[in-house]
Amino acid sequence: MTSFQSSANLQGRQFSEQCDLLLRGMGFRLDGRAVLRDFGVEIDQVATSPSGATIWFEYKGSVQGTRPGLIRTDTLKKAIANGALLRAIPEHPPYIVLTSHKPTTGAGAAMLRTALELGFLSDVVCVYDPNETGRLRQL
């Protein structure tokens, strides 16, 4: 494994830990990963909100790099594809992506907007923006 891959893996683990801490701090019960083999999708965290709702979370982020989080279009496309595949499951729990960075312009912003409008993603929350993380309290 190259040093780049090692660094990326470490940053991914660190971001996952940050997401878990955020959710626990908001009163979510974390039940761990889920592999939905019939659909080809892995859920990073199955959680239960304080109100008792089951939520599926995907974590996409890092703390370094020139294109972190969903700014990388390949990373964004993977999250969107997972959300589209999950649509094959009737009445599945909300599928929310927690990210370190969201695209605000260009093709990435257009893809994200379209995926939200089509309902492939229930929400996309930047974990470093208190205005966005506040939406998690409504679940």
Q: Write down all domains in the chain, each with its CATH number in brackets.
A: 3-138 (3.40.1350)
pLDDT score at 54: 97
pLDDT score at 8: 62
pLDDT score at 68: 76
- CA dist list (Å): 70 to 42, 64, 97, 120, 132: 17, 13, 9, 15, 15
Tokens found for residue 138: 């409504």
Chain centroid to Cα 130, Å, comes to: 16
Low-confidence ranges of the chain (pLDDT < 50): 4
The pTM (predicted TM-score) of the whole model is 0.90
Q: What is the average pLDDT value for the chain, to the nearest integer? A: 91
pLDDT score at 65: 64
Within 25-94, strands assigned E span 29-30, 34-36, 41-43, 45-48, 54-60
pLDDT score at 113: 97
Give tens-digit pLDDT for 101-116: 999 999 999 999 999 9
Within the chain, strands assigned E span 29-30, 34-36, 41-43, 45-48, 54-60, 95-99, 123-126
pLDDT score at 115: 97
